[in-house]
Structure 1
Amino acid sequence: MSSSPGPGSPVPLTPSLQRLFSHVRVENLIAGLSGGVLSTLALHPLDLVKIRFAVSDGLDVRPKYSGIVHCMKSIWHQEGFRGLYQGVTPNIWGAGASWGLYFFFYNAIKGYNKETRQIELTATEHLLSAAVAGAMTLCLTNPIWVTKTRLVLQYSADPSQKQYKGMMDALVKIYRHEGISGLYRGFVPGLFGTSHGALQFMAYEELKRDYNKYRKKQSDAKLNPLEYITMAALSKIFAVATTYPYQVVRARLQDQHNTYNGLTDVVWRTWRNEGLLGFYKGMVPNLVRVTPACCITFVVYENVSRVLLDQNK
C-alpha cells in the first residue's frame, strides 16, 4: 500500500517536469545576464533617444529633436554625461534579468522539446519555445521596464524638479500612487512583444543550423565571433522590422506625461494624429542601438555559456 507524502515531504515531480528541470542550467542565466549588462552599459544613450522619439506626440512638455545627433547633443548640453545615462540602473537590471531569464527559460524549454521529440526542432518549435520563455520573463521584469521608461522621460536638468529620484524611488511611488496595475503598464503590448524575441530566436537558430549544414558540421557547432555577430545582426534586424510598433505603443502606455484608456486608445490616437509613421517613431535610433547590442549580447552569451558548461561537465 503506497503512502501519500506527509505535510513536510516534498511533492514528487512528474516525469515530464523531471525531464524539464534536467535541462535547467544556471550557466545560461549567468551568460545571458553578462551579455545583457555589457551591451546595456555600452549603448544605453541610444536606448534613451529611442524612447524619447517613440513618445514624441506633440505635447509641449517634451523637448523637440530633429534627429539622433541633435537629441544626444541637446541632452549633453542640458544635463551632461549623466543625462545620457538617465534610467540606466533599471535598464541594467531589466536587460540583465531579461536576457538571463530568457536564455535560462528558452534553453530549458528547447532542450526538453528536443529530448521529447528526439529530432531537430523545426522553426515553428523554436518560435514557440522562445515565445513561452519571453512571456515568463516579462511576468518577472515588467515593473523594471516601467521604471526605466519613467526615468528616461524626465526632461528637467534640475534634480529638484524631477518626479523620481532613482529606480527604487520610482518603484515605490508608482506602487503607492498607481498600485500593481501601474507597475504592469504596457504588459499586454509587452506580451505581443514576445513575438519579437520569438522571431529573433527562431531566425538565429535557423541561420546557425543552416550555416552549419552548409559547413557539414553539427547544428550546434561553435562559430567564431564574426559569424555569431552576423547571425545575431540579421536575426535582430528581421525581428525589429517585423514587430517595432508594439514598442511605441508600450512606451506610450508607460509614459507619465500622457494618459490613455488602454491599448486600443493608444493605437487609435496614434493612428488618428500621426498615421502609420507614428508607429515607427524611434525605429532608426532603435536599430542603431539594438543591432550592436544584440551582437554584443549573443557573442558574450555564446562564449561565456560554453566556457561555464564545459567547466561543469
Structure 2
Amino acid sequence: MSGSRYEDSTAAVPEIVAGVSAGFISTVVCHPLDLIKTRLQVHNSAKTWVGSLNVARKLLDEARSTGTRPLRAIYRGVGTNIIGNTASWGLYFLWYGQLKNRVAEYREGQGRHLSSLDYLLTSGAAGVTTAALTNPLWVVKTRMLTSGSGSPGAYRGLAEGLYRITVEEGPRGLFRGFLPSLFGVLQAAVQFMAYENLKIWRRESRIETSLSNNGLQCASRQQSSSKQGSKGHLSGGLGHERSHSQPQADLLSNSDYMALSALSKVFAGTLTYPYQVIRSRLQTHDAATVYSSARNAVFQTWQSQGIAGFYRGLGPNLVRVLPATCITFVVYENVRRIF
C-alpha cells in the first residue's frame, strides 16, 4: 500500500512541475495581451475602446497621467496573473494526469482504449476542482487589470485585494463570476479532448509514414541484395529498422505540439468564448451595482451590443491565447519528457 502511494506521489511530480513551468512562462510572455483582452471584455462603450490599438493607447495615456512607467503599466497585475496561472496549470495538469491514468488503467482491464468521452470527463472534473480553488485569484486579477494603479479603490497587490474583498464583500465576493467560469471548464474539456485525439491521429500518421518509407527502402535494398544473393541478411535488417524507427516516429516534435495545441484551442475557444466576457463583467469593481446576476449580465450585454458583445476581445484573445497555448503545451510536454 505504501509503495502504491509512493508511486502515485512520484508520478504526480512531472505533472506539477510541467504545469507550473508552463503557466509561468506563458504568463510572463503574454500578460500585456491578456491585459488588453480583459479591458476590451468589460467595457461597454464602443466609442471609447474601439480595438486593441485604442486600448493600448489608453493604457499609455493612463501611465503618463499618473507618472507610471509604460512597461509597468502594461504589466500591471502580472504578479497576481503569474500566481493564478501557475497554480491553475499546476493543479489542472496534476489532477488531469492522475484521473486520466486511473481511467486508462480501468479501460485497459476492459481491453479498451480511452475514448473521447473519457478525455472530456477527466479534463472536466480536473477543471471544476481547479476553478473552485483559484476563483478568488481571478477576481483580484480582473480588478487589477481593469483599473489603473492610480484609480480610486485600485488594489496594490494580491494580498490586499483578497483582504479587501473579504472585508468589504464577504466570502461571496471571492467567488464572483464562478458560475460563468464553469463554462471555461467546458472549454478546457473540449480543448483537451480535441488535443488528445489530434495527438493520437498525428502519432499514428507518423508511424504509418515511417513504416511506409521503411518498406520502400527495404524493397529497394532487397532488389539490390537479391542480385548479390544475400536475401537472408536483408530479412534481419528489416526487423532491426522497424524496431528503431517506430519508437522515434511515436514521439511528436515541438512543431507537432504547437500545431495541435493551436488547432484545439481555436476550436474550443471560439465555441465557448462568450462565457469569458460575462465572467469578466461580473468580476469588475462595480459589478454588484451594474448586474444583479449572471443572467442579468447576459441580458444587458445582448440588449446593448447584440451578439457582437459576447465576442468583444476575441481578436486579441486569440492572438494572446495561441502563443500562450503553444508555449504552455510545448513546455509541458518537454518538461514531462525530462522525467
TM-score tier (shorter): 0.7 to 0.9
Q: Does 1:236 align with 2:265?
A: yes
Q: Does 1:206 align with 2:197?
A: yes
Deviation at 1:141, TM superposition (A): 0.6
Q: Does 1:270 align with 2:306?
A: no
- Using the alignment, how far apart are the partners of 2:275 and 2:250 within structure 1? 34
Q: Indicate the percent of aligned positions where both proteins have the same amino acid.
A: 42
3-state SS of paired residue (1:275): helix
> In structure 2, what is the equivalent of residue 7 of structure 1?
none
- Using the alignment, how far apart are the partners of 2:6 and 2:106 within structure 1? 9
Matching residue's letter, 2:285: Q
2:118 alignment partner, one of 118, 125, 148: 125
- Using the alignment, how far apart are the partners of 1:199 and 1:23 within structure 2? 28
Deviates more, 1:78-87 or 1:293-302: 78-87
Deviation at 1:65, TM superposition (A): 2.4
Please tell me whether the aligned partners of residues 200 and 238 of structure 1 are also in contact (alpha carbons under 8 angstroms): yes
* TM-score, normalised via structure 2 length: 0.80
Taking the TM superposition and a 5 Å limit, the aligned residue runs for 1:126-205 are: 126-155=119-148, 158=150, 161-205=152-196
2:100 alignment partner, one of 103, 110, 115: 110
> In structure 1, what is the equivalent of residue 280 of structure 2?
251
Matching residue's letter, 1:117: R
| Structure 1 residue ranges without an equivalent (≥5) | 1-11
- Using the alignment, how far apart are the partners of 2:197 and 2:6 within structure 1? 24
> In structure 1, what is the equivalent of residue 66 of structure 2?
none
Highest CA radius of gyration, 1 or 2?
Answer: 2
Matching residue's letter, 1:54: Q
Q: Does 1:69 align with 2:53?
A: yes
Matching residue's letter, 1:68: S
> In structure 1, what is the equivalent of residue 230 of structure 2?
none
3-state SS of paired residue (1:200): helix
Deviation at 1:124, TM superposition (A): 1.2
Deviation at 1:201, TM superposition (A): 0.5
- Using the alignment, how far apart are the partners of 2:251 and 2:128 within structure 1? 28
Instruction: Report the RMSD for the aligned CA atoms in angstroms.
Output: 2.4
Q: Spell out, residue by residue over 1:124-176, the C-alpha distance to the aligned partner (whole angstroms, 9 max, x if none).
A: 11011110010011111110000000101113x537x4431111111100011
Matching residue's letter, 1:301: Y
- Using the alignment, how far apart are the partners of 1:55 and 1:193 within structure 2? 17
- Using the alignment, how far apart are the partners of 2:313 and 2:12 within structure 1? 36
Deviation at 1:261, TM superposition (A): 1.2
Please tell me whether the aligned partners of residues 244 and 280 of structure 1 are also in contact (alpha carbons under 8 angstroms): yes
- Using the alignment, how far apart are the partners of 2:310 and 2:302 within structure 1? 8
Deviation at 1:23, TM superposition (A): 8.5
Q: Does 1:83 align with 2:73?
A: yes
Q: Does 1:51 align with 2:4?
A: no
- Using the alignment, how far apart are the partners of 1:65 and 1:103 within structure 2? 36
2:16 alignment partner, one of 25, 29, 33: 29
Please tell me whether the aligned partners of residues 32 and 74 of structure 2 are also in contact (alpha carbons under 8 angstroms): yes
- Using the alignment, how far apart are the partners of 2:299 and 2:183 within structure 1? 17
- Using the alignment, how far apart are the partners of 1:242 and 1:19 within structure 2? 40
- Using the alignment, how far apart are the partners of 1:221 and 1:181 within structure 2? 48
- Using the alignment, how far apart are the partners of 2:254 and 2:188 within structure 1? 21
* TM-score, normalised via structure 1 length: 0.86
More helix by share: 2
